[in-house]
Structure 1
């Protein structure tokens, strides 16, 4: 059983990218950098996942 931790009542937006098999490594590195070092950025990145069908 998966257990998910929530941070209070923060609303989030989920983004889906079309043609995810064509995403460049540069984009993935930028997402990783923002996630790890975003600081007080207006947009927080909580994670990224890949659709297994792509």
Structure 2
């Protein structure tokens, strides 16, 4: 459930950012790229979004 809510909120944030940067195409590309990277990083690092399916490997 947390993944779904997080994804919907992230999509809303992306839409808002793209609306704010409407006339600046390169800024939209950069914002989309950066927000996509932050989204992927959040799923990789935030424990409650992983849901226990991903294991941490320690040496």
TM-score for the superposition, normalised by structure 1: 0.30
Higher relative contact order (CA 8 A, sep 6+): 1
Structure number with greater Rg is: 2
Structure holding more helix per residue: 2
Q: TM-score, normalised by structure 2?
A: 0.28
